[in-house]
Amino acid sequence: MERKKLAPEEILRNLEGLENWQAVNDVLSRRFEFGDFAGALEFVNRVGAIAEKYDHHPDIAFGWGYAEINLTTHDRGGLTDFDFAVAREISEE
| 36 assigned to some structural domain | yes
**Cα gap 41→1, rounded to integer Å:** 30
Share of the chain above pLDDT 70, in %: 98
What global pTM score does this model have? 0.90
* Band of residue 1 on the pLDDT scale cut at 50, 70, 90: low
Over residues 3-35, the pLDDT tens digits come to: 789 999 999 999 998 999 999 999 999 999 999
67 φψ region: left (φ > 0), alpha (ψ -120 to 50), beta (else): beta
CA distance to 5, 7, 27, 50, 58, per residue, from 76 (Å): 6, 12, 12, 21, 14
Mean pLDDT of 72-76: 89
How many distinct structural domains can be found in the chain? 1
| 46 assigned to some structural domain | yes
| 39 assigned to some structural domain | yes
Q: Phi, psi at residue 84, to the nearest 5°?
A: -75, -35
- Write the CATH number for 71: 3.30.1360.20
| 3 assigned to some structural domain | no
